[in-house]
Amino acid sequence: MDPLHALFLFAVGLVAGVLNVLAGGGSLLTLPVLIFLGLPASVANGTNRLAILAQNVVAVGAFRKSGLLPLRLALICTPPALLGGLLGARLAVDVDDEVFRRILAGVLVLVAVLMLVDPARRLGRPARRLTPTRTAVLVGTFLLVGVYGGFIQAGVGFLIISGLLVQGLDLVRINAVKVFIVMFYTVAALAVFVAHGQVDWRLGLALAVGNALGGWLGTRLA
């Protein structure tokens, strides 16, 4: 691997890690960059998970140390997201490269529109008690979030923020829950991509170092 490529990936990962922890959308940078560096789209999708995992392990540790992680809520949301992540990754490994590129292009456009419209700002609610009905809604929501995240990851942070704003959390605690959930379903998704040979370890580790540092910086900023 060219040292310049490694440095470039580190820099992109650093920016993506900060974005992912504070809001989302970092994979909208890293996936196109990995494809630009010559990886097939399917391999770029799997390789990106190394960086996401490193970033979220660091961020979860920092949020827990700061006492900002609502662990009970995170533990409710994580199992369905984990199952969804496995299902999404299984779908992703079977998708043709050209089809995946078109899906990624569509996601880029959709997320850009959502960032301009910012519908999440209207979803904020006062804190509410988790009734059985609200818990069931959370479980269903995060099953779908996991499927999407396992499939493509890009933009999943915005979905999680929207899903948790209605629970009455502030953005700092929402981001703490988000990185916890993403960390666990990424382990499952990454295992699927590794099993199918869709991870470039050299590029992935260079990106992961940047994402990990960006994840730590993101928690400090939060």
Question: In the numeric block, which tokens belong to residue 91?
Answer: 């779908």
C-alpha distances in angstroms, 107 versus 10, 36, 154, 175? 24, 17, 8, 21
What is the length of the chain?
Answer: 222
Q: What pLDDT tens digit does each residue of the chain (222 aa) get? A: 688 999 999 999 999 999 999 888 899 999 999 999 999 999 999 999 999 999 999 999 999 998 888 999 999 999 999 999 999 999 999 988 889 889 988 988 888 787 777 655 655 556 667 778 888 988 999 999 999 999 999 889 888 988 888 777 788 889 999 999 999 999 999 999 999 999 999 999 999 999 999 999 999 988
Take residue 137 and report the two structure tokens written for it: 């809604």
CB contact at 8 A, 48 and 156 = no
Residues 86-97 have pLDDT tens digits of 999 999 999 888
The DSSP secondary structure of 36-90, one letter per residue, reads HTT--HHHHHHHHHHHHHHHHHHHHHHHHHTT---HHHHHHHHHHHHHHHHHHHH
Quick one: how far is CA 189 from the chain centroid?
11
pLDDT digits (tens, 9 = 90+) for 93-138: 998 888 988 998 898 888 878 777 765 565 555 666 777 888 898 8
